[in-house]
Amino acid sequence: MIENKVGMKLEEIPAGEFMMGSPDSDPAAKENEKPQHRVRITTPFLMGIHEVTVAQFRRFVEESGYQTDAEEQGGCYGIDLGTGLIEVKPEYTWYCTGAPPEAFKQLDDYPVACVSWNDAQAFCQWLSGKEGKPYRLPTEAEWEYACRGGTTTRYYSGDDEESLKDSANVADASLKEQWPSIGWAAEWNDGHPFSSPVGKFKPNAFGLHDMHGNAGEWCSDWYDPEYYAHSPTDDPKGPAAGKLTDISDLVPGAPPRVFRVIRGGVWCDPLPGCRSADRSTQLRHPGSSAADVGFRVVTSL
Amino acid sequence: MDRDLRDDMLKLVRYKVLFVKREYEQAFREEEDLVSENMDAAAFAAWKVAEFIQKLKSEDTRVSEKWLKYHGGKYVKEVNVGGVKTLVLKEFPDDDKKYLRVYYEVLDRYPRERFKYEERQIEVLEEIREQLDKVPKPGPETTNSIGMQLVQIPAGRFKMGSTDADPDATPDEKPQHRVRITKPFLMSLHAVTVGQFEQFVNETNYQTEGEQSGTGSTGLDLVTGKVGAQPQYTWRSWLNEDKQHPSNFKQTNKHPVVCVSWNDALAFCRWLSGKEGKPYRLPTEAEWEYACRAGTTTRYFNGDDEDGLQEIANIADASLQKKWVWNTNDPPFQKGMHLPPYAKPWNDGYPFTAPVGKFKPNAFGLYDMVGNVGEWCSDWLDPDYYANSPKRDPKGPPTGPLIDISDRLPGAPPRTLRVVRGGVWLDPAAAYRSADRFTHRRHPVDSAADIGFRVVATVED
């Protein structure tokens, strides 16, 4: 493990092969996870063992004068515990992601959220300057490869949802208590209703924490639900351009949009959204941001 | 030079001339021949002003050579008197050496008089000093970790925009209004170079928007003479050579980077912020004009005269016209016509972009503020902004209004645009005026062979 100049810990992920996506036999799998196919990661890389933290992002903001898309464009998606509604509000930003502020004040060791894909890119540009070498978001294939850590089960902790209890901050009784109108929640109580400080749960075989749950994680790829049918075997990087995707089933009446991939499930999603292969728990435009989506970075060895 | 200051200085000099002449005529009545024929009091006054400026220079470290060239220094020149370099006032075209020789002779003969006159002159000189003090002076120059030179631009006030007195002024430059820059800042002496941008690309694997989109940037095709976007035009290369008539143009690491969009410029700034550990950004439009003027109120930062551009800017001149020929039968030009039609007759040796720093800097020591490449500013462009912009540190409107660009791109819909300042290597003279803001307005994703940027940074406390 190495630690870079901003105190970010990174673990070496070796080159290797894995089966990406889900088999037809998995009843929880969605169509966009098929066909399951062999992928080769040809070059080892370093991956942050944690999601980028609020403290790291603050340093970026302080040293660059950066304003996030949410700050410039009127806020991000967040929860108001008073009304139980998820909506975009100007006061929801990376330093306070929901209402009331006491509940969503983002402390230094929390994963930064309410950051768009564009914001994550800007952070990487800044960090590349600091480190003198390219930092970037992982590709979707790198992400799934790193998440699985050699496993072929639904979660890196096993096939059972129960197995997430120790390895992921998911929607559970602690969240249901704060947000009764939520329609799903695990029965256990992990003491973290919303996001938790990074590294509070057990890591996977590569030493990566919070790959399941906590904040969702931006990947570099454009989202294409049919990508797996024709993606290359070696180091797939996603389609060259975003595909207009119909989201009217999620947001009634919304026009089709282009999306970037978000992986790993979040603290308020149904548990199947945390599966290693899940691709569409959240679909977001690169300028969109939400209280449950952050990112982690990768760099070359 | 500030027109008011210039008038004041000349007034003072005239006053001093009268004063000196009267006093000397009295003092040297017996030496009437000497006084009337050789001891030109005006030259004496000129010399005294020059001496004062020299003194100011030695006492005040903020007064750089570059600053002197434009303020105070603009009115004096350096001459060699008996092996000693001395500043003399330019306003008096006669043989300064002769006057200085005579002046020394007079002082040798009447040493007691010298004291008296110099004491009386202190008042006058203090007035000049007061005037000069009002002109903003640059702070120290520094070099950052990527070898980029920056100069501290002082806080200060200036008049932004143009008055009706400038026949080239367009409505968006009016009304001329007072603006205060409340904090000093660092500005790069040069536009960001190809070498610096390459380091950024190497350390981030960044792809410019022109490269990502596959449409490329707007460049120049010397075979046809046409300007347009081609996928192969990027910051690395943006000229299609005519092999029959090679231009011998090479874009080196010292050339200003072009074919970068506003968004690309911001990505560079974020990378540099990480490297330096402090915010680097594009200048606001107000900071840019303040820095360009550097205390001047003339149309160009070195005067009102177009011909003066020859010294300070890489502009459209005979060197460009020689290389750029319209080689198709398509309108708007006739086949075989040399472009651009408005090119200046002189030849500066740089048909296209020039390596940075090849022309004279302004009073703050900034090179190529006008000409060479246009420079992205952080502001959205609003042609009506000056009517209601804040007086302190204006940052442009919060969002850009839709602006009609059909004059440049026939049939194109209105777009939101970012400000580009400073004129480029292929513009007519009016574009190099310090106040020009409309020649190169562009959408933030656009990139072209004539537009780059320079950066500013905060001054550490």
Mention every residue, 6+ apart, whose C-beta is less than 8 A from residue B182.
B155, B392, B393
Give the per-residue pLDDT at B123: 55
Q: Quick one: pLDDT at residue B133?
A: 72
At B94 the pLDDT is 42
Q: What is the pLDDT of residues B296-312, one digit of tens each?
A: 999 999 999 999 999 99
CB-based contact A64 B277, cutoff 8 Å: no
Q: How many CB atoms neighbour CB A177 within 10 A? A: 12
Query: Whole-angstrom Cα distance, residue B138 to residue B455?
Result: 16
Q: Distances from the Cα of A35 to the Cαs of A38, A278, A280, in angstroms? A: 10, 13, 15
The minimum CA-CA distance between A91 and chain B, rounded to whole Å, is 18
User: Which residue of chain B has the CA closest to A133?
Assistant: B203
pLDDT of residue B76: 54
Give chain A positions within 8 Å (CB) of B270.
64, 66, 122, 125-126, 129
Select from A148, A248, A249, A254 the least CA-distant residue to A206.
Answer: A148
Angle between helix axes B194-204 and B262-276 (nearest 10 degrees) is 80
Residue A261's nearest CA partner among A284, A292, A290, A229 is A284
Nearest chain A residue to B279, by CA: A64
How far apart are the CA of B379 and the nearest CA of chain A, in angstroms? 14
Are the beta carbons of A54 and A61 closer than 8 angstroms?
no
Mean pLDDT of chain A: 94
Mutate to test the interface with A, among B203, B209, B459 (most CBs of A within 10 A): B203
From the list B200, B205, B270, the residue facing A66 with the nearest CB is B270
Check residue B64 and give its pLDDT: 63
Q: What is the pLDDT of residue B460?
A: 79
B205 and A CB contact within 8 Å: yes
Sort residue A234 into left (φ over 0), alpha (ψ -120 to 50) or beta: beta
Q: Could you tell me which residues of chain A have a Cβ less than 8 Å from any Cβ in chain B?
A: 60, 63-66, 121-122, 124-136
Per-residue pLDDT 10s for chain B (461 aa) are: 445 544 555 554 544 444 444 444 454 444 444 333 333 444 455 555 556 656 665 665 555 666 656 665 445 555 554 454 555 555 443 444 444 444 444 455 545 544 444 554 555 556 566 666 778 888 889 999 999 999 999 999 999 999 999 999 999 999 999 999 999 999 999 999 999 999 999 999 999 999 999 999 999 999 999 999 999 999 999 999 999 889 989 999 999 999 999 999 999 999 999 999 999 999 999 999 999 999 999 999 999 999 999 999 999 999 999 999 999 999 889 999 999 999 999 999 999 999 999 999 999 999 999 999 999 999 999 999 999 999 999 999 999 999 988 877 778 889 999 999 999 999 999 999 999 997 777 788 889 999 999 999 999 76
Query: How many CB atoms neighbour CB B415 within 10 A?
Result: 17
Please give the pLDDT value at position A167: 95
For the packed helices B194-204 and A117-131, what is the interaxial angle rounded to 10 degrees?
110
Segment A60-89 shows an average pLDDT of: 94
Rounded percentage of chain A residues whose pLDDT exceeds 70: 100
SS (H, E, C) A41-79: ECCCEEEECCCCEHHHHHHHHHHHCCCCHHHHHCCEEEE
| CA B409, B414, B416, B421 torsion-angle sign | positive
Query: What's the rounded mean pLDDT across residues A100-112?
Result: 94
- State the smallest CA–CA distance between residue A227 and chain B in angstroms: 20
pLDDT over 80 (residue A145) = yes
Q: Spell out which residues of chain B touch residue A64, defining contact as CB-CB under 8 Å.
A: 269-270, 273-274, 279-280
Distances (CA, A) of B307 to A150, B59, B221, B354: 72, 34, 29, 19
> Cis bond leading into A23, ω under 30°?
no
User: To probe the interface with B, which of A68, A128, A299 has the most B CB atoms within 10 Å?
Assistant: A128
| Interface size between A and B, measured as CB pairs under 8 A | 59
pLDDT bin (cut points 50, 70, 90) of residue A85 is very high
Residues B407-459 pLDDT 10s: 777 788 899 999 999 999 999 999 999 999 977 777 888 899 999 999 999 99
3-state helix, strand, coil in chain B (%, to 5): 35, 15, 50
For position B102, what pLDDT does the model report? 44
Give the integer Cα–Cα distance in Å for A111 and A93. Answer: 13
Is the ipTM of this structure higher than 0.85?
yes
Are A134 and B274 in contact (CB < 8 Å)? no
pLDDT of residue A245: 83
Which residue reads 């390596």 in tokens?
Answer: B355
pLDDT at B442: 79
Report pLDDT for B392.
Answer: 98
Summarised one tens digit per residue, pLDDT across range B178-188 is: 999 999 999 99
Q: For residue B410, what pLDDT is reported?
A: 77
Q: Residue A89 has what pLDDT?
A: 95
Which residue type sits at B398? P
**pLDDT, position B136:** 86
pTM equals: 0.84
Mean pLDDT (whole number) for A237-255: 84
Residues in chain A within 8 Å Cβ distance of B204: 124-125, 128-129, 134-135
Q: Which two tokens stand for residue B34?
A: 């000497």
Which residues in chain B are contacts of A133 at CB distance < 8 A? 203
- H or E element in which residue B77 lies: strand B76-81
Distance of residue A130 Cα from the nearest chain B Cα, in angstroms: 4
The pair phi, psi for residue A39, each rounded to 5°, is: -130, 140
Cβ pair B320, B343 in contact under 8 A: yes
| A270 close to A171: Cβ distance less than 8 angstroms | yes
- % of chain B beyond a pLDDT of 90: 61
Spell out which residues of chain B touch residue A60, defining contact as CB-CB under 8 Å: 274
Minimum distance, in Å, between the CA of residue A133 and any CA atom of chain B: 4
Q: Give how far Cα B226 sits from Cα of B211, B239, B241, B261, B335, Å.
A: 21, 11, 12, 21, 11
Please choose, from the candidates B140, B130, B151, B434, the residue with its C-alpha nearest in 3D space to the C-alpha of residue B312: B434
- From the CA of B407, how many Å to the nearest CA of chain A? 31
